[in-house]
């Protein structure tokens, strides 16, 4: 086939026919070296090369570029999603911090209230304890006073009995001592 194409290329240009269009076409074909079999062979070669390039070069290259475009597009979408997630996480973090601050303030306020209440309770307990101590001290003082009064009465009664015995010059009996003590106590208590 290639030999046929080469043989046709070396053939001579036809002689002028007298038709201007045909002669002009033949002249142009001769000047530019147009050869129909070569032209057809070149067209077939071109179509084969285009098919081979499309199938083995541009096809895989186009597929690779399409995959790369898809990966870039997916990466951009993931980046947008990450930005959205980051914004949501920041909002949640801020909300959690606000909630923690509110809880901390509430706990501090509760602790202050509890401390004030506990301080008030301790103050009340201290006042109550002081009142109990004062009451016991008063009771003890009253008991001591009563005991001293009783002792004074007894001593006073003995003193009066001794003084009466000395003035009267006689020995008094226990009944006399009791009568004199009772009369002396009645006089003192009035």
Whole-number pLDDT of residue 143: 87
Q: Does residue 148 sit within a domain?
A: yes
For residues 178 and 188, give the distance between their C-alpha atoms in angstroms, rounded to a whole number: 15
Whether residue 29 is predicted with pLDDT greater than 50 in this model: the reply is: yes
For residues 116 and 127, give the distance between their C-alpha atoms in angstroms, rounded to a whole number: 16
Q: Of the candidates 66, 87, 108, which is a domain's last residue? A: 87
Q: Does residue 185 sit within a domain?
A: yes
Q: Which domain holds residue 38?
A: 2-87
Residues 83 and 146 in one domain: no
Q: Does residue 63 sit within a domain?
A: yes
Model confidence at 50, pLDDT cuts 50, 70, 90, reads: very high
Whole-number pLDDT of residue 70: 95
Do residues 6 and 38 lie in contact, with contact meaning Cβ atoms separated by under 8 Å? no
Q: What is the average per-residue pLDDT within 169-177?
A: 70
Which of 77-81, 120-124, 135-139, 148-152 is most confident? 77-81
> Count of domains in the chain?
2
Residue 76: phi and psi, rounded to 5, are: -65, -40
Q: Does residue 179 sit within a domain?
A: yes
The number of CA neighbours under 13 Å toward the Cβ of 103 is 6
Q: Does residue 136 sit within a domain?
A: no
CB-count exposure of residue 31 (10 Å: 0-12, 13-18, 19+): exposed
Residues 8 and 75 in one domain: yes
pTM exceeds 0.75, yes or no: no
Q: Does residue 105 sit within a domain?
A: no
| DSSP tag of 53 | H
Q: Does residue 176 sit within a domain?
A: yes
Question: For residue 36, what are its two tokens?
Answer: 């129909």
Residue ranges of alpha helices (H) inside the chain are 2-9, 20-32, 36-53, 59-168, 174-189
Q: Does residue 103 sit within a domain?
A: no
Do residues 64 and 35 lie in contact, with contact meaning Cβ atoms separated by under 8 Å? no
Q: Of the candidates 65, 87, 109, which is a domain's last residue? A: 87
């Amino acid at each position: 086939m290639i030999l046929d194409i080469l043989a046709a290329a070396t053939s001579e240009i036809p002689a002028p026919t007298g038709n201007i269009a045909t002669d002009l076409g033949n002249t142009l074909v001769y000047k530019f070296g147009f050869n129909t079999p070569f032209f057809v062979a070149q067209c077939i070669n071109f179509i084969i090369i285009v098919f081979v390039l499309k199938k083995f070069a541009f096809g895989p290259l186009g597929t690779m570029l399409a995959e790369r475009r898809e990966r870039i597009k997916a990466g951009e979408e993931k980046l947008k999603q990450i930005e959205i997630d980051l914004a949501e996480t920041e909002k949640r973090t801020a909300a959690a911090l606000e909630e923690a601050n509110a809880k901390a303030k509430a706990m501090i306020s509760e602790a202050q209230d509890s401390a004030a209440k506990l301080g008030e309770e301790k103050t009340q307990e201290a006042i109550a304890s002081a009142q109990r101590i004062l009451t016991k001290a008063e009771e003890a003082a009253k008991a001591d006073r009563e005991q001293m009064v009783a002792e004074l009465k007894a001593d006073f009664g003995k003193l009066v009995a001794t003084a009466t015995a000395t003035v009267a010059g006689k020995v008094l009996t226990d009944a006399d001592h009791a009568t004199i003590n009772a009369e002396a106590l009645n006089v003192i208590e009035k």
